[in-house]
Structure 1
């Protein structure tokens, strides 16, 4: 998937996530269930049916930094035949000159590519391994640098991650 297509996808996923309706782009998503720290969703976007999980960090550093809502998502796009698209909506525009971002599960780091306020795993080939680690892990840490040069660290609990992934696996077969 190209960076431009991923940027569009991030916007569509966010619209679906927050329950906004964007004409001809995304319809309202319905909650499949909440599993501890993760919620499973089902909806549609321009590609057709999508299912995704979303979670918010249990802690963010530095504290007191003004950011939009922060979400981590794993998306299945049934209409495109894709599964396990890993992305984060970081709550600020990434630094474009030195956009280094990463997601790590229990210490194993995966580099991410950025565009605007979103980031994806740098290699789609890492997605299956990341999702396996995500389901087996206990902590997810996302690191990024804002346009202003602020380094952020968002820490997520992975409690309920397996159950949420199982729910979207079943919903978007």
Structure 2
């Protein structure tokens, strides 16, 4: 149920439709740590895979809801776009580091989200995720707290394959 309510929240945040025309996302299938979802607006379909961290550091702070998402938006020519969503505002003009089995990627921040700084590196990050075991995220909150998250990559390939033909 927790993942279902998260998916609803994310769909509302990710979709470009107004609330009046918003619908609930459809959970396609769960693949170990990763869920595959579909969300339809009047004009577009958005598909995405989502995971929550298996570990959050420091344990003494309230992280809110934190997710790693890879979205597919065929109507907007967006294919496998990685994004981190935090439960708090990120430090302005800071960078987020994502590492998959020792390979680092830099993400730029805006409010509570971060995206790959160089869009040309998105396929490399997704490929690393498909072949990796764990993904880590290092970020700094607007208050200056350094945070770290660990995600299992178990199920990511099957989840991404499920949304390959998003429609």
RMSD, matched Cα: 2.2
Shift in alpha-carbon separation, 1:80–1:157, aligned structure 2, 3 A:
same
What does 1:87-166 correspond to in 2, within 5 Å?
87-96=83-92, 98-166=93-161
Compute the TM-score of the two structures, normalised by the length of structure 2. Answer: 0.87
Unaligned runs of 5+ in 2: 1-7
What does 1:13-24 correspond to in 2, within 5 Å?
14-16=10-12, 23-24=19-20
Q: Partner residue of 2:45?
A: 49
Q: State the alpha-carbon separation in 2 of the partners of residues 25 and 135 from structure 1.
A: 34
Runs of 4+ with >3 A deviation: none
Unaligned runs of 5+ in 1: 1-11
Q: What count of residue pairs does the alignment treat as equivalent?
A: 158
Q: Is the 8 A contact 2:12 2:19 kept in 1?
A: no
Residue 164 of structure 1 deviates from its aligned partner by: 0.4
**After superposition, what is the alpha-carbon deviation per residue over 1:17-44, rounded to whole angstroms, capped at 9, x for unaligned?**
8xxx952564211011000000000112
Q: Partner residue of 1:69?
A: 65
Q: Partner residue of 2:79?
A: 83
Compute the TM-score of the two structures, normalised by the length of structure 1. Answer: 0.84
Q: State the alpha-carbon separation in 1 of the partners of residues 75 and 81 from structure 2.
A: 13
Q: State the alpha-carbon separation in 2 of the partners of residues 139 and 99 from structure 1.
A: 23
Residue 49 of structure 1 deviates from its aligned partner by: 0.4
